[in-house]
Structure 1
Amino acid sequence: MTDTIAFNGRTLCATPLELGEGPTFDAATGTAWWFNIIGRELHELHLESGRKTVHPLPFMGSVLAVIDGGRQLIASDQGLFIRETATGTLSAYASIEDKPGNRSNDGRTHPSGSLWIGTMGRSAEAKSGAIYHVARGTVTRIFADMTIPNSICFSPDGATGYFVDTDLNHIMRVPLDAATGLPNGEAVLFADESGSPGGVDGSVCDAEGLIWNARWGEGAIDVYQPDGVKIHRFAVPATQSSCPAFIGPAADRLLVTTAFQGMDGAARKADPNAGQTFELGIAVKGRFDAAYLL
Structure 2
Amino acid sequence: MSAAVFDPRICELGEGAFWHPERAQPFWFDILGRRLMSQLDGAPLEWQFDEMVSACGWIDRDHLLIASETALLRFDLRNGEARRLVALEPDRPGNRSNDGRADPQGGFWIGTMSRSAETGQGAIYRFFRGELRQLRAGLSIPNAICFSPDGRLAYFADTAAQTVWSQPLDPDGWPMGQARVFLDLAGTDQFPDGAVTDDQGRFWNARWGSGSVACHAPDGRLLSRLTLLASQPSCPCFAGRDLSRLIVTSAAEGRHGPQDGRTWQLDPGPARGRPEPRVLA
TM-score range, shorter chain: over 0.9
Find the counterpart in structure 2 of residue 94 from structure 1.
86
Indicate whether 1:33 and 2:33 are aligned: no
| Aligned match for 2:120, one of 102, 121, 127 | 127
Structure 1: give runs of 5+ residues left out of the alignment.
1-6
Displaced runs of 4 or more, over 3 A: none
Q: Using the alignment, how far apart are the partners of 2:109 and 2:173 within structure 1?
A: 8
Q: Using the alignment, how far apart are the partners of 2:3 and 2:211 within structure 1?
A: 13
Q: Using the alignment, how far apart are the partners of 1:282 and 1:139 within structure 2?
A: 34
Structure 2: give runs of 5+ residues left out of the alignment.
none
Q: Using the alignment, how far apart are the partners of 1:167 and 1:132 within structure 2?
A: 19
| Aligned match for 1:279, one of 261, 265, 269 | 265
Q: Using the alignment, how far apart are the partners of 2:26 and 2:181 within structure 1?
A: 32
SS in 2 for 1:181: coil
Indicate whether 1:83 and 2:69 are aligned: no
Residue 148 of structure 1: how far off its partner (Å): 0.1
Q: Using the alignment, how far apart are the partners of 1:282 and 1:114 within structure 2?
A: 27
Find the counterpart in structure 2 of residue 42 from structure 1.
36
SS in 2 for 1:209: coil
Pairwise CA RMSD: 1.0
1:39-67 CA-to-partner distances (Å, cap 9, x unmatched) read 00010112xx2011111112111011110
Find the counterpart in structure 2 of residue 3 from structure 1.
none
| Aligned match for 1:241, one of 233, 236, 243 | 233
Find the counterpart in structure 2 of residue 225 from structure 1.
217
Indicate whether 1:184 and 2:176 are aligned: yes
1:170-191 CA-to-partner distances (Å, cap 9, x unmatched) read 11011001x3221011001111
Q: Using the alignment, how far apart are the partners of 1:281 and 1:158 within structure 2?
A: 26
TM-score (normalised: structure 1) = 0.93
Q: Using the alignment, how far apart are the partners of 1:237 and 1:137 within structure 2?
A: 41
| Aligned match for 1:107, one of 96, 100, 112 | 100
1:79-127 CA-to-partner distances (Å, cap 9, x unmatched) read 1010011011011101121211100001110000001100000010110
Q: Using the alignment, how far apart are the partners of 2:172 and 2:97 within structure 1?
A: 22
1:7-56 CA-to-partner distances (Å, cap 9, x unmatched) read 5132111111100110101122221000000000010112xx20111111
Q: Using the alignment, how far apart are the partners of 1:29 and 1:155 within structure 2?
A: 23
Matched AA of 2:223? I
SS in 1 for 2:74: strand
Residue 282 of structure 1: how far off its partner (Å): 3.4
